[in-house]
Amino acid sequence: MSENSGPNWHGTTILCLRKGNEVIVAGDGQVSMGDTVVKSNAIKVRRIGSSGNVIAGFAGATADAFTLFERLEAKLEQHPGQLTRACVELAKDWRTDRYLRRLEALMAVADEKVSLMVSGNGDVLEPEDGLIGIGSGGNYALAAARALIDQDGLELEAIARRSMEIAASICVYTNGSVVIEKITQS
């Protein structure tokens, strides 16, 4: 790391799974600066929206993620019950606003109807299989989840926990301190 490049904050693992009438967003708790673990129990997954009916997880700079959570909550207030529209509006702002454009983060968001990945490039993507993995360990967790998702008898939370374990065993920027939020459709 050069002297004037600032801290080099590395990744996380966020996994969003959807199956049947459930959706889960899971995130690890590790925060790293360079090759040092600075915190092992950060909470990177939270419920947002006035009724807590949206789950969001972030990968990237922490302060940037908090800004994006706040902005998404404001968009949800403007467009209640319309997660896709709120995310599209956030992505537009994120891409065009001079301040937001500098934010470095990626979000996985879900409600009882839709799971989306939102980026600062203006992307709002809905995966066709309902599975999202973001962050440095996201692809490892996603691959594990895809292998486990159709296993008979496995509950969605068990799939999420096992997938996060696998990611933590491969990615040095992911740990086993996992926070899970779940929405079950009525």
Contacts with 159 (C-beta within 8 Å, 6 or more apart), sequence order: 17, 19, 145, 148, 149, 151
147-173 pLDDT, tens digit each: 999 998 999 999 999 999 999 999 999
> Could you report how far apart the first and last alpha carbons of the chain are, in Å?
50
DSSP one-letter string for 14-62? EEEEEETTEEEEEE---EEETTEEEES----EEEESTTS-EEEEEEE-H
Domains and CATH numbers, the chain: 9-172 (3.60.20.10)
Record the pTM. Answer: 0.91
Catalytic residues: 12
Most confident among 24-38, 64-78, 126-140 (mean pLDDT): 126-140
Query: Does pLDDT of 8 surpass 50?
Result: no
CA-CA distance, 128 to 151, in Å (whole number)? 19
Nearest Cα residue to 121 out of 86, 91, 83, 141: 91
Average pLDDT on 38-52 reads: 91
Place of tokens 């979000």: 107
Higher pLDDT, 163 or 103: 163
Q: Return the structure tokens found at 167.
A: 């990611």
